[in-house]
Structure 1
Amino acid sequence: MPAADTRQEFAPPHTPGMLRALVLALLAHAALVAVLAIGVAWKRELPPATVEAELWSAIPQEAAPPPLEETPPEPETAPQPEVKPLPEPPAPPPPVVKQAVPEAPSKADIALAKEKERLLEEQKAKELQAKQELERKALEKRQLEQAAKEKLDKERAAQAKLKEQQEKDKLAKDKAAREAKEKADKAEKAKKAEAADKAKAAEAAKQKAEKVAKEEAKRAEQERQQQLNRLTGLAGAAGSGSANSTGTAAKSSGPGANYLGKVRSAVKRNITFADTIVGDPTTEIEVSLSSTGEILTKRFVKRSGNKAWDEAAEKALDKLQKIPLDEGGKVWTPLVIVFSPQALFGQ
């Protein structure tokens, strides 16, 4: 920026009407001073100088003779000698001009002079005051401009610092987001890998369980078939026996029909099933009994495929807790109990 522009920028502002007020004040004071000066000059007008001079004539002149009267001619006289002219007198000295002695100033003159001096001092004081006011305003303006500049510099510095901090925060945020994404990706990959491993393990366990279930079902079917064969053999033996037969062999080889009816009746009283039964789901549970008929253990020999019916059969045994004893207090263990809606409820 040029130096002239800089000076103009920091120059004090022009006070509106200041110049016109100064001009009017100067004109008023000049008029007053002129009036005072005219008054003083009029009072102090010097009296006209008095000049005295003596006039000298170079040739003396005689007065004109009176008119001649006719007189008789006089007798001729002898001729008179020629009269020589007198020498010229010396030149008169120049006139002496007497200077007028100035009069002592009067009180009015002194008062006017003092008033004039007071007005001049007052004018100087006003001019000095105006100058000082202008300097004060200029200084105040410079101070305000300096303060504004410092404030602007501080604001700019604060904005720059804030911008820098925002950029740092953004970088840190981006870095944190990137790291979080990488961590989430890793966790997702690990989760997927774990899920895949679990799925594989579950599949393996399922296959193993299915294999075990098939083996158990096969074994249970074999045991069931053996039990049915035994019961069938008992029934055949009972039906083929003679009326005189005591039935000791039949009674000692398996439970009778009366006993199985007692067991079926006890189970029926404890089974609870509110759902609608479709078909005839059959559940077979093998129980081990104590010498008093209490149920020690139980296991599914065959499931019906209806989970609710299987649970109802198991809960019925839990409620029953004890199987009725056969005649003579005999206990049949292990015992396979068949749960069938048609067998229990005649459906």
Structure 2
Amino acid sequence: MKPAMAGGPYKVPRQSASWRAPVLAAAVHAILLMFLWVGVSWQNNTPTEVQAEIWDMKVQEAAPPAPPAPEAETEPQQEADAEPTPPPPTPVAPPQEPDIALERIKAREKLEQQQLEAARQAKLKKEAEEKLAKLEAKRLAEKKEAEQKAKLAKEQAEKDKKKTAAEKLAKEKAEKAEKAAKDKAFAAEMRRITGNAAKASTGTAERSTGGKIDGGYQAAIRAKIKSNLVYGTVDDTLSATYQITQLPTGEIIGVRKMKSSGSAAYDSAIENAIAKSSPLPKKKDGTVEREFVADFNMKDMH
């Protein structure tokens, strides 16, 4: 720019860069249009609905869906002084991560529940098996104990049986030995007595043997035997016959049953009474019947 000449009129200096102002204005308008276009495009896009479900371990209820967003009011498109710029690319909706996370949570919870249920069933099965095993072991123990007791009882019974048999055999041997000794003593006594009184009584005794018994003598013998008879039942049909052998002193050395009464109890009672009646009564002359047969009728013994 050249300075004005002195004394001359003032002139406005010429703008050397007159194109800058329109370009700058156009750029500002273009930027403003771009922001308006982006805002309008963003408001016109339908918002993506995102649904989320809230799960609770006690109460599982889905959260209500979010209300739809109100539609944005479009603003009138302003006319651009400059050339329109191309619209930006439509944004791609992000993947629905909340739904995938909820599905994973559901699957994990279902798996955990299945595992818990399986563990509970396994525990119940194990407890039942242990209980059955205890019951079976108890039953086997009781069975074994019962078998052991039965075995011991059987062994004890066999021992008692053997002991009883041995005691019975020993008793029988003792009785036989006692009887043999008694018979031997009686025989010796008989020989002694008969040897001393052979001359005095031989004839009388021989005449008495096999003959009839004196009625009074027989009645005395029956009376003594009757006094020693112990038998409660009265039956007049019972009658037994015995042969009795005695020493001259009246000592009984032999009793033989000739006829049974048909009642073992009555026969045993008569035999006991005869044994208890030794020595038997003698005759009036002091002699005895060395051997005689006597009838014991029930009606005569009462």
TM-score by length of 2: 0.39
Which protein has the bigger helix share? 1
